[in-house]
Chains A and B, each alone.
Chain A
Amino acid sequence: MRVNPVGTVEVLTGSHSHGQGHETTFAQLVAGRLGIPIENVAIVHGDTDKVQMGMGTYGSRSGAVGMSAIVKALDKIEAKAKKVASFVLEAAEADIDFKDGKFSVKGTDKSVDFASVALQAYVAHKFTGEQLEPGLKEGAFYDPTNFTFPSGVHIAEVEIDPDTGVTTIAKWTAVDDFGVIINPMIVEGQVHGGIAQGIGQALLEGAVYDANGQLLTASYMDYTMPRADDLPSFRVDHTTTPCPSNPLGIKGCGEAGAIAAPAAVMNAVTDALGHENIAMPATPQAVWLAARASFAKAAE
């Protein structure tokens, strides 16, 4: 985490973003903590010229693990900045408070803003090199102490046409507990995408090979991706039980939809058909055959 002399901040993170919105969520965290405008925070990722080490974004961990590392770096930045502020404000370090982007001396109206402290950290006019090493740049690594345990319920309401075997998702309701949420819009977006992927897995998507090993589903002509008219809008909500094992109380969210959706869809399909032997993807043909088997059994 590099604080520039003008008070802008660059965060070099090993958590790569390819659509998960880290540039927004991570910046929100840093801007909120330092009391600076969000546009003053740059999130740098995915460039090995700049970021020394990264292991990507996977396992719903960038919030819980990546942001915990950012919190640790923020702790160090704040501690160092307090030292600088104590020289600027000519007060004991223990008497310095930091709130809303301002360092102030307890019980007085003396204060200095974050950007001024950043500049003083580098120009070092208020302290000597012996008293304090100039600069405001810190790094942190974070190794999780435990897994996070998100939980939730997804309810799929499906309609099956027994004549054609086509399954329609009529309604979707999901409530998840991701612990503390920094950006609800982004988290909901992750859930939407996961549900769509899970529905695709349950009903549409499958890699099909012929007997000679030739892939038959080699393009989107044959591999059935979920399209907009295969899906409903989703009703998504959350409860908040902070995670005890990381500083922000965050649990993983990225995979939630894709974990819950296949099970919810297949439970709904088997419930509708009274037939448990349906493999994913439950294509119209598979559902039609299963429906016929159920009807035949009922007629006996």
Chain B
Amino acid sequence: MPKVSMTVNGKRVSADVEGRTLLVQFLREHQRLTGTHVGCDTSQCGACVVHVDGKAIKACTTLALSCEGANVITIEGVANGTELHPMQAAFRTHHGLQCGFCTPGMIMAAIDMVNRLGTDLSEETIRHELEGNICRCTGYHNIVKAIQAGAAAMGGMKVAAE
């Protein structure tokens, strides 16, 4: 079996995997990082979104081997210790989740949205950008509110850091 090595949430990891192993299987089964969910297995629902080299991708349709040497961030890697990431905190404050199954993917997609498009996001932009993430519980209403607030909070964080 081929060996794959990558950095996951800042930690160097490697494992011998079958060539067909998907990134999401590598994360969930080999690394025991079960925060990344598998919803549809067909790139449709977005529950499996993680960041690979700074870009949001769907881990259910990415081969682990194709991430050799990559820097991977999962939902487990966004909080600062016990302090939630501003986007996580915004989902909590705005009731942006109910059953929570889509939430890890929603948050990873939302952080990616801010990284690409900035911290001042319109409702229209957020709804359009969420095209690849399905939620059955919330009707998206509070997810959109949470992302808007989380993006603004990420902006505040950037200003404070500068």
A, B co-complexed: yes
> Interface-forming stretch among A69-77, A116-124, A191-199?
A191-199
A220 near B42: Cβ-Cβ < 8 Å: yes
* Secondary structure type dominating chain B contacts: loop
Residues of A within 8 A of B (CB-CB), count: 26
Known: A18-B99, A220-B40. A192 touches B130 (CB 8 A): no
Output the residue of A18, A20, A228, A234 with the most chain B CB within 10 A.
Answer: A228
Known: A19-B137, A219-B42, A233-B144. A228 touches B99 (CB 8 A): no
A189 near B99: Cβ-Cβ < 8 Å: no
Bound-state CA distance A18–B40 (Å) is 19
Q: Is B61 in contact with chain A by the CB < 8 A criterion? A: no
B interface bracket (residues with beta carbon within 8 Å of A): 20 to 34
> Interface-forming stretch among B17-25, B69-77, B121-129?
B121-129
Question: Using Cβ atoms and an 8 Å threshold, which residues of chain B touch A299?
Answer: none
Question: Using Cβ atoms and an 8 Å threshold, which residues of chain B touch A193?
Answer: 98, 136-139
B130 near A228: Cβ-Cβ < 8 Å: yes
Output the residue of B99, B127, B137, B143 with the most chain A CB within 10 A.
Answer: B137
Bound-state CA distance A193–B100 (Å) is 13
Interface members, chain B 129-158 (any A CB < 8 Å): 130-131, 133-145
Q: Which residue of A lies closest to B45 (CB)?
A: A220
The 4 closest A-B pairs by CB, nearest first: A196-B139, A19-B99, A19-B98, A220-B44
Chain A: residues with CB nearer than 8 A to chain B? Answer: 18-21, 185-186, 188-189, 192-197, 219-221, 225-229, 231, 233-234, 257
Question: Can you report 11 A-B residue pairs in the complex whose CB atoms are below 8 A from each other?
Answer: A19-B98, A21-B98, A189-B142, A192-B141, A194-B139, A196-B141, A220-B44, A226-B139, A228-B130, A228-B131, A228-B143
